[in-house]
Structure 1
């Protein structure tokens, strides 16, 4: 048996993501190794930046760090990375010289961002948009308020993610390894990421959130028509009583973004 690396012993007792403690899975076995790998990446990036600095090219070089998916650690399902939960679809992305971007963006935005930073025109037909207008607190009026998530292979699923909401649909019975999309989807999940960042309370089907789900469904269908050129049917989740939960739309703004939650007063 291979000896345990000292670095793995050092990180074993560090914090874990909030949903790890709530779900079964292998996070407790793999988190230390994962954090050790992150440290190695950090060290490698440091050496790369030292080399750029020694060549005098650091100030005119943009470095980007990203991944093909987040780290799910199999906390919720058997196929950890092909799911719409934050720990899977919230992909790490960092660029030098930018500034914090707080609104949802997609990996399709990386290529046009690097092209614009290099002074190269973005080709026509590119689906992503440069992130440079958003840096430093800037705005991009033409950018959508949500991002599209496409899930394949293990399942055929789609989702939209806004600054606050996650809306997920699944194609029941689809041959996920051979069918890239579907004509019929069903609502499976709805999360309020502001109140429930670890997505432990699935709001799909609650009668109190019908307006929220309806707005997000329309947003998803617009994405699918624009990006995939399809117009599938999305079946609503079976209605469920809301109990003391309620959603009150604010007078202005998109109905699925401007929503206030609360409990009914005790009688």
Structure 2
């Protein structure tokens, strides 16, 4: 049996592990009070105030555009879509970084990577920082995490850690990947001390690669985003990715079913998001919206309006102070994040005027390393990206990898030999210009760079001034962003 078949078969096994949980416990219908509430209206307030349980469900490498509730014609995400109908859907939520470790570290510190120190992927935050579990423990919470961590030394993150389901290659050489252990989550919910509020971070490994074989998607009928080259191999890769997106949706349903089974449906603030976008060119490891625009949906019966969509601009660094405020505490001052609890409660639609995002590559060296630093500022209309080392040929695990989920890149390279557009796309991938400016309203897929258009000079200059000032406030030099190997303290890998 070859390696391709072994991986495919194991992935199917891991997906199947989740299904019995759903069959055993269906997510119940909302309470009568919630069902009576009109879309956009708040449900009646609960009779007695209590600290809510808080569940944060984080998908792994899921672009916002690939969720049914956000308009995807292809994704099969009925449980996430139901979540959106029962609560509030954010259309302007953004990751602080399009890379796993920096993004997750920013969620759990409330600081952008430039401030917390986790610049590059697989790097650690500064020692001594207070993180989400410690903040919530001070408010009386039991704080548990299940699934993917990938955020640094555990001493900095005093969670109660649940075991993952680990799948090893048949040869027994090393860990192939991990899988969310929904049974462990169910056990925590079943046996918890109900006199103490619970904060539970559920971090699925889906839809991160490796992707399983296509299960039920017609490659010929998919809508390929215009920033990708439409080749048969790209379409096949999209079917495999969407198959694993459905796994994340299934796992979310299992967790919600467990919450309901043990009586927590009406007393839980449930938040759903993703750490960054999908592992496709111009998405993960990039500052285009495909890489940093994340789904964000919140449900809290009796508090959050149902069927509500908000355009309030938020960053995932805002999750920490928002969870503090929802728990009854005062949001921590002196961090980058700001509470958006007033938005959740339907009191305002006002968020940030702009958000920031950064990518510093990975802790690698050599010609095949993803090390080119870039920073961005995004408003409701415009995005400015500064590529601080345009002299470095941009690469990442997609262009340099060899797995089946990355093989579509070879079809792009072949197409570039005869197709001028394909050649331009591949060249743009590898060779970034110093500055990129996009009008998101007119050009949502960021295909037309306006940085050299005289009509947009004032826009570009104004955004660059704001970005430079922000970099200084974060402790970075806007004239020189170091490579990952040069950054401090992000110049060492976190302890495994």
Corresponding residue number in structure 2 for 1:211: 458
Structure 2 unpaired stretches of 5+: 13-211, 362-370, 395-432, 481-496
2:358 aligns to what SS in structure 1?
A: strand
2:475 to 229, 232, 248: 229
2:372 aligns to what SS in structure 1?
A: coil
Is residue 2:417 matched to residue 1:171? Answer: no
Q: Distance in 2 between matches of 1:15 and 1:122?
A: 43
Is residue 2:364 matched to residue 1:147? Answer: no
Is residue 2:10 matched to residue 1:10? Answer: no
TM-score by length of 1: 0.71
Q: Distance in 1 between matches of 2:462 and 2:231?
A: 33
Q: Distance in 1 between matches of 2:230 and 2:388?
A: 25
Larger RCO (CA within 8 A; separation ≥ 6): 2
Equivalenced residues, count? 218
1:71 to 258, 261, 278: 278
Equivalent pair of 2:277/2:284 in contact (CA under 8 Å): yes
Q: Distance in 1 between matches of 2:385 and 2:218?
A: 33
RMSD: 3.0
Q: Which structure has more helix as a fraction of its residues?
A: 2
Q: Tell me by how many angstroms 1:104 deviates.
A: 2.6
1:112 to 294, 303, 321: 321
2:325 aligns to what SS in structure 1?
A: helix
Equivalent pair of 2:215/2:240 in contact (CA under 8 Å): no
Q: Distance in 1 between matches of 2:434 and 2:237?
A: 32
Distance 1:158 1:67, change over 3 A: same
Q: Distance in 2 between matches of 1:203 and 1:73?
A: 24
Q: Distance in 2 between matches of 1:207 and 1:24?
A: 36
Corresponding residue number in structure 2 for 1:93: 296
Equivalent pair of 2:277/2:290 in contact (CA under 8 Å): yes
Equivalent pair of 1:26/1:73 in contact (CA under 8 Å): no
Is residue 2:159 matched to residue 1:159? Answer: no
Distance 1:15 1:105, change over 3 A: farther
Equivalent pair of 2:227/2:447 in contact (CA under 8 Å): no
Q: Tell me by how many angstroms 1:139 deviates.
A: 4.2
Q: Tell me by how many angstroms 1:195 deviates.
A: 0.5
Distance 1:232 1:25, change over 3 A: farther
Structure 1 unpaired stretches of 5+: 177-185, 235-267
Q: Tell me by how many angstroms 1:187 deviates.
A: 4.3
Equivalent pair of 2:314/2:352 in contact (CA under 8 Å): no
Q: Tell me by how many angstroms 1:20 deviates.
A: 4.5
Q: Distance in 2 between matches of 1:150 and 1:59?
A: 37
